[in-house]
Structure 1
Amino acid sequence: MRIALIKGDGIGVDVAEAAMAVVESALQKTGFARPSYDEIHAGAGYFSETGLDIEADGEQRAESADAIFLGAIGLPSIRHKDGTEISPHLRLRDSFGLYAGVRPVKAYPNAPQRLADPRAAGIDLVILRESTEGLFYSAATHNRSLVVNDDEVQDVLRITRKTTTKLHQYAFNLARKRRERGKSGKLTCVDKANVFTSLAFFRQLFDEVKADNTDVPVSYNYVDAQALDLVRKPWEFDVLVTENMFGDILSDLAGGLVGGMGMAACAEIGDNNGLFQPAHGSAPDIMGQDKANPLASILSGALMLDYLAEKLDQPDLGDAADLINAAVMSGFQNKALRPMEFGGDMGTRAVTEQVMSAIEEKPRLQSSVSA
């Protein structure tokens, strides 16, 4: 398999390398060959050196890979003239049509739990964020923002039938798959349909797709009420589907309930491409200091393997993903994983080595599909 690897800025380098080490360990355990990597330089640091936010042919190389893995991009000290961050990954989402932003939110034993209610230990949900339109439509390329004059700027919130219908179909399929794995499989449409015509259209399209997916239980919530409910009763939700900006905010809120952004994995899926990254930032203040929690990146690596199992029609790659997920879960269960982010004594390398060790201790699995 061919992976376009964009390490990016700050701790992106550290956590991307950690994730690929764990991915290779899981692949070896299941009998697959090591991936081939095409490392693509991109980000704020690269911009400061070259004036480009990604290598000249970087987008084409990323598009031709089987999957794209991104560490983190952006540095607070390096910005465009208008004050916005260097963010080529937003353009990649837009260019490759990566409409399905999958943000798992899962509580792990012995990891920080911010809610006192004992039911918080069972939080296990997915926020499905549309990742190409909504209010981020203007952010993908700056010329979509309308600078009226020095006193006014306008950004567009865009919802289209084509993209949103695909998003909702993905959501129903995801809810169905989760029900098959023992989850509730309830799908909640999160919007602000009572105020914005665009989001009333978002809900209308949800209902149209719902008509062909009557086996999936559904509910509805306005985004402000959903934010409240993620604090009051997050254990009652399974899959949430929502607009881009709403998903960005809600997924960070939900990440805070299960420890922090160091556990926030992310997959961004389109019809032909998939990009995988931890949802946290580049944290330049701790880059290269062996302090970053690599688990969000490692769990994103597992999401990538699940994606490749389907894309490459090699289901046994899903076994490699399961090994990673099981290693993280067992590491928290037996207190072998103690990231510094959670007040523990383990830095980036130690966490990575512990996950790899847990994978190695599992009985060897041999892929039945040629790598």
Structure 2
Amino acid sequence: MNGSNHSVRLGLIDGDGIGPEVVAATRAVVDEAVGAAGLDPVAWVPLLIGHAAIAAHGHPLPEQTLSALDDLDAWILGPHDNVSYPDRMRVAPGGAIRKRLGLYANIRPAAAFAGVRATAPGIDLVIVRENSEGFYADRNMFAGSGEFRPTEDVAMAVAVFTRRACERIAHEAFRLAQERRNKLTVVHKANVLPMTTGLFRDVCYEVAAQYPQVRVTDEHVDAVAAHLVRAPGDFDVIVTENLFGDILSDLAGELSGSLGMAASLNCSDAKAMAQAVHGAAPTLAGHNRANPVALQLSAAMLLRWLAVRRRERGLTEAADRITGAVAATLAAGVATADLGGLASTSEFTEQVTARVHRR
């Protein structure tokens, strides 16, 4: 399929809060970039989660949506606000989708952009987060939850680490490090969790033998948090377990300027989901003030993933056009309020779509 021109089918899920606004802004940029790259228009497949799904189907993550995702290779997921769902429906759609579809890798880059006042101007790293196990209670059991209360006054949680999961996320991280600066940091807490995070660390070093050109170090998660603030430029690719990766990537996102800039891709070998790191921000919903950059950059990551899977150079070009247009727009001083700018969501998106055609 190298150089072919077949239409791409992508799921499109608005989500809650600012979701419909940033998803619409992302769709507009993707459509423009795909057209500029000379590809057929994207075949969008709209799907429901969250409050819209509750209203239509009585559940925040209906079977209709899950069945449709089974038939798709890739989709864009808007943020959701599961804390506002009725008590009996407090499912987190993103986590449930990751578990059902086996999206074991969460790739979260953090880089400073010209024109953005970053706390750490030199930051340029990627956090590779294991997405299926660890301390996350919704993803570490075959049935039921890994978090439970044996008595009214006692709450307990189970963390799960398997060699298979550690190996596959390590391979993902090492492959990415080879494409970047050949430097990888394994993050763990083996001094107090030697069996669980110690297994993660040890398996990563075992996998390292297959990537001799990559320089490997390891650090405790608390030390890495301090090190990120002091010298973020020392890091290239970080690989870690689920909870640590979630926390460190939020920190890295803020250091790069704003969580509104924090993109991510959830993927397996067969499926991928673009999802911004930030939440639904319900207080901003409907005001045309949300920053769409995180989801737009997430969509670019999705197109690059598809380009490799389909061997389609045009999708790589479309992804490059999106990232280049976002960077050029920010460098020109156009930004939303969270970045200290005056642009609305739609105004920022218009500026990006206009720059998509410039190489």
TM-score by length of 1: 0.90
Task: Tell me the C-alpha RMSD between the 2 structures.
Answer: 1.7
Do the aligned partners of 1:63 and 1:273 also contact (CA within 8 Å) in 2? no
Which of the numbers 190, 193, 210 marks the counterpart of 1:212? 210
Q: 1:8 to 1:93 in 2, by over 3 A?
A: same
Determine the C-alpha separation between the residues in 1 that align with 2:66 and 2:83.
24
Which of the numbers 173, 186, 191 marks the counterpart of 1:189? 186
Map 1:1-371 → 2, pairs under 5 A: 1-47=8-54, 50-81=57-88, 85-114=90-119, 120-138=120-138, 142-178=144-180, 184-196=181-193, 197-335=195-333, 337-360=334-357, 362=358
Determine the C-alpha separation between the residues in 2 that align with 1:281 and 1:249.
14
Aligned residues, how many?
Answer: 349
Give structure 1 stretches of 5+ with no counterpart: 115-119, 179-183, 364-371
* CA shift for structure 1 position 85: 4.4
Do the aligned partners of 1:10 and 1:72 also contact (CA within 8 Å) in 2? yes
* CA shift for structure 1 position 201: 0.4
* CA shift for structure 1 position 303: 0.5
Q: Which contiguous aligned blocks of 4+ residues in structure 1 show a shift greater than 4 angstroms?
A: 139-142
* CA shift for structure 1 position 50: 4.1
Matched to 1:31, the amino acid is G
* CA shift for structure 1 position 49: 6.0
Do the aligned partners of 2:122 and 2:232 also contact (CA within 8 Å) in 1? no
Q: 1:289 to 1:241 in 2, by over 3 A?
A: same
Residue aligning to 2:4:
none
* CA shift for structure 1 position 333: 2.1
Q: 1:348 to 1:214 in 2, by over 3 A?
A: same
Q: Deviations over 1:302-322 (max 9, x none)?
A: 001101101122122111111
Determine the C-alpha separation between the residues in 1 that align with 2:86 and 2:116.
35
* CA shift for structure 1 position 45: 4.7
Matched to 1:269, the amino acid is C
State the SS of the aligned residue for 1:95.
helix
* Mean CA deviation greater in 275-284 or 84-93: 84-93
Q: 1:66 to 1:77 in 2, by over 3 A?
A: closer
Do the aligned partners of 2:184 and 2:214 also contact (CA within 8 Å) in 1? yes
* CA shift for structure 1 position 95: 1.4
Matched to 1:32, the amino acid is L
* CA shift for structure 1 position 25: 0.5
Determine the C-alpha separation between the residues in 1 that align with 2:299 and 2:238.
22
Matched to 2:167, the amino acid is T
Determine the C-alpha separation between the residues in 1 that align with 2:240 and 2:145.
25
* CA shift for structure 1 position 112: 1.9
Determine the C-alpha separation between the residues in 2 that align with 1:151 and 1:241.
35
TM-score by length of 2: 0.93
State the SS of the aligned residue for 2:17.
coil
Do the aligned partners of 1:80 and 1:86 also contact (CA within 8 Å) in 2? no
Identity of matched residues, %: 37
Determine the C-alpha separation between the residues in 2 that align with 1:242 and 1:47.
35
* CA shift for structure 1 position 86: 3.3
